[in-house]
Structure 1
Amino acid sequence: MSRNRKHPDDELKCIRLGHCLKIRRDYLMRTQDSIGAEIGVSRQQVSRYESGENKVSVPCFWRYAKALEIDPCRLASVAFTLDHKRAYQRALVLDDTIEDSIHALVRKLPDEGALVAVWEFLSSKFEGGDDGET
Structure 2
Amino acid sequence: MAPKGKKSKKQREIDWAADAYFDKNRSMIYIEHTLECPIFTTKAEEFAAYVAQEAPNRIIQLVRNHNGKVPPRDGAFEIGFSQNARTSVHQLWSGIDKGPPRRDKFPPEYESLMQEIHKILKKFYPDAVEKNPLEGMEDDDAAPAYE
Q: Fold conserved (TM > 0.5)?
A: no
- The structure with the largest strand share of the pair is 2
When the two structures are superposed, what TM-score results if normalisation uses the length of structure 2?
0.30
> Computing the radius of gyration over CA atoms, which structure comes out larger, 1 or 2?
2
When the two structures are superposed, what TM-score results if normalisation uses the length of structure 1?
0.32
Report 1 or 2 for greater relative contact order, CA contacts < 8 Å, sequence distance ≥ 6. 1
